[in-house]
Structure 1
Amino acid sequence: MSDATTQNVENEVTEQAAATAPVEREAREPRRGGRERNPNRDRGSRDAEKSQFLERVVTINRVSKVVKGGRRFSFTALVVVGDGNGLVGVGYGKAREVPLAISKGVEEAKRNFFRVPRTGSSIPHPVQGEAAAGVVLLRPAAAGTGVIAGGPVRAVLECAGIHDVLSKSLGSSNTINIVHATVQALKQLEEPRAVAARRGLDFDQVAPARLIRAEADAAAAAKVGA
């Protein structure tokens, strides 16, 4: 084989290698950064976390700040979050956009979680809470009564898992004050057994009659089932 023929063959091989090299690099390029991230995975985890809690947006207000260039508007959101099983919290968020304000309110509400004592689907005893000029009175109710309350109070009670209660707002009609007064009322609730232990009394002397009957019925049902 002549030198010219050999040179032509080498040139063809070089051209083919140069043409295929970028293709191979392009095919390997996605691997260089590691495994591709699946955006649906994070979205699914957020949806699962959100589904664990009940979220109620009580009120959204638009506020403005006067600056040198004019007015700067933003939004505030009062949010109640709970698991529907005795855990509830209230948060207040502020941002330039409504969704971000709600998100901030939800995060603050989760940081403010507290446990609410309950007897069945109601509360153990009457209680009154106050916050600024807001005053809220809560009373136990029989099963099937429902939540007899206005919008702000209802949001807090439903997220806390209280389904039978009577309520009355005795003070200011400001939504924020009513919500915080409801929270203060719930924080004053005590379990009958804890009250009996603190006072040095028997449970029957402290517990309401309906609770004693409910426990007696539950014990009788358990005995029959056994």
Structure 2
Amino acid sequence: MSVCRPARCLFLRTTCNALPKPTPPKRTFHSTAPRPARRRRPHYPSIKAEDLQLLNQAAETTFPKYDTSETSLASKKYTPAQIAAIKAAEAVIDPRDLYTQGQERTDPWLLPYKDDLTRVDPVTDHAEKRSADDLASYMRGDRLYTPRKEFRKANEVERDEAIARIATENLSKLYPSGIPEGGMDKKQQAQFEEAIEAAMTQAALDPRVTYWSKDPKVSEVLADPRHSAFLPDLPRIENRMARMTRRLSTEEEEDPRQKRLLQYLDWDKTDLRNLRIKTLVTHGVTNQTRMGKIRSLYYLTIAGNGNGLLGVGEGKSVEPEEGRKQSVMAAIRNMRPIPRYENRTTFGDLERKVGATKVRLYSRPPGFGLRVQHLIFELARAAGLQDLSARTPRSRNKMNVIKATWEALCNQKLPDEVARARGKKMVDVRKVYYGGSVH
């Protein structure tokens, strides 16, 4: 009898008794990893010495220190206590933090102009109030006090001269190389007459025509379209025609819901205009309340870009236009990608059931077309499908047909997913053996 086996059993028994018993696994009720399993991250990013040197150079270039001339000017304006407070604040702020963390604003409330606030803008800023000492120095000839800019209404002669001058300036913008000399054909003559008429109309609506001043800076301020909104004491034209011409021809009244939707999707208005939007179901619904029957309208709308995106949205409101807008915004917000085989049909046959409605979709060869009922036809066209057939053997409720078709198109089983689930490798046989020359 060998002694190895009893010794081995003895050693195993002693080691098992010495080790602590394993704790049973605890069930976690959230997806966050337990604290021991988390990877500890450093509080501050690790920066190499060479990168830190480059960062210091960039920070010194962007935010240089004050020179002696600037400190001498500051000492004339601030008290010693204020200068000490400014130096203490500057010592606390690190230029590297300003360089790495400081950035220009990109939010919708960004100011429409850049200004370092070192000069007084006659359009956006009010004139500075001068003291009696400034007025006395101006009377002595020091020219430190700027009097208030004055203007008055122009007479007929000044108005005609201003119209001629401004019309010439506008016409020179349309013809920078000068008016073409020699004979012009009928088309060029018509364009030239339209340009003259547009220049005269713009000159007649210009504020510099209505008001006159000796100071040329006042004329520049009057030519700025922002002066009436930012500085009310300057003159403004309050007729209907001038108000309508201030708005650009491409500018539209913006819907706040559309603005939020564009920010959510990170799109612009051109992407929104290229969508194919159509309302397929419209009917009235009635809600019985203690105050009686309240009628409202229900809308079901689809939206797609014709290139693999499709969405369905619903809206209901007492006002027809409001309910339709709700359905359109919901359809655009609910757009989801539709997998397409060769960008023309589905990946195999699909079947979906919603309520009592069952929809069956069948993929078809190239050139087959869309041989489906009109609701599925609109959905397929909005999604960018070209070869498809469908059947609805059971109930044909419009709402359920649209929802079942949309869910069937969105939840297709792709070949690569099937191959991954089976642990296989997917190979495009047409590309390998036929060079992609057959369908």
1:145 counterpart SS class: coil
Asked whether the 8 Å contact 2:282–2:299 carries over to 1, the reply is yes
Q: Whose Rg is larger?
A: 2
Q: Does 1:85 align with 2:295?
A: no
Asked whether the 8 Å contact 2:297–2:317 carries over to 1, the reply is yes
How do 1:68-83 residues align onto structure 2 when only pairs under 5 Å count? Answer: 70-83=292-305
TM-score (norm 2): 0.40
The aligned residue for residue 41 of structure 1 is: 251
Q: Does 1:164 align with 2:387?
A: yes
Deviating more after overlay: 40-49 vs 88-97: 40-49
Cα deviation, residue 78, structure 1: 0.6
Asked whether the 8 Å contact 1:58–1:152 carries over to 2, the reply is yes
Whole-angstrom distance in 1 between the partners of 2:269 and 2:365: 35
Alpha-carbon distance change, 215 to 144 in structure 1, aligned in 2, over 3 angstroms? farther
Cα deviation, residue 219, structure 1: 3.8
Deviating more after overlay: 138-147 vs 39-48: 39-48
The aligned residue for residue 119 of structure 1 is: 341
The aligned residue for residue 182 of structure 2 is: none
The aligned residue for residue 228 of structure 2 is: 32
Cα deviation, residue 122, structure 1: 0.6
Alpha-carbon distance change, 38 to 64 in structure 1, aligned in 2, over 3 angstroms? farther
Asked whether the 8 Å contact 2:364–2:388 carries over to 1, the reply is yes
Cα deviation 1:101-141 (Å, max 9, x = unaligned):
22211110112111111112111111101111111001110
Q: Which amino acid aligns with 1:123?
A: T
Q: Does 1:99 align with 2:321?
A: yes
Cα deviation, residue 43, structure 1: 6.3
Whole-angstrom distance in 2 between the partners of 1:216 and 1:158: 33
Q: Does 1:154 align with 2:377?
A: yes
Q: Which amino acid aligns with 1:38?
A: L
Asked whether the 8 Å contact 1:127–1:188 carries over to 2, the reply is no
Alpha-carbon distance change, 58 to 46 in structure 1, aligned in 2, over 3 angstroms? farther
Cα deviation 1:154-173 (Å, max 9, x = unaligned):
22211111110111112221
Whole-angstrom distance in 1 between the partners of 2:433 and 2:422: 23
CA RMSD of superposed structures (Å): 3.4
1:197 counterpart SS class: helix
Cα deviation 1:178-208 (Å, max 9, x = unaligned):
111111211221321232122122325xx8x
Asked whether the 8 Å contact 1:134–1:172 carries over to 2, the reply is yes
Whole-angstrom distance in 1 between the partners of 2:229 and 2:151: 24
Identity, % of aligned positions = 23
Whole-angstrom distance in 2 between the partners of 1:102 and 1:216: 52
- 5+ residue gaps, structure 2, are 1-149, 155-209, 213-218, 231-242, 255-266
The aligned residue for residue 6 of structure 1 is: none
The aligned residue for residue 136 of structure 1 is: 359
Q: Which amino acid aligns with 1:101?
A: G
1:40 counterpart SS class: coil
More strand by share: 1
Cα deviation, residue 177, structure 1: 0.6
Whole-angstrom distance in 2 between the partners of 1:180 and 1:82: 15
TM-score (norm 1): 0.73
1:178 to 401, 412, 435: 401
How many residues of Structure 1 are paired with residues of Structure 2 in the alignment?
197
Deviating more after overlay: 46-55 vs 89-98: 46-55
Cα deviation, residue 47, structure 1: 6.3
Cα deviation 1:24-50 (Å, max 9, x = unaligned):
49x959732159443632369986344
Whole-angstrom distance in 2 between the partners of 1:199 and 1:170: 33
Cα deviation, residue 220, structure 1: 5.2
Cα deviation, residue 149, structure 1: 1.2
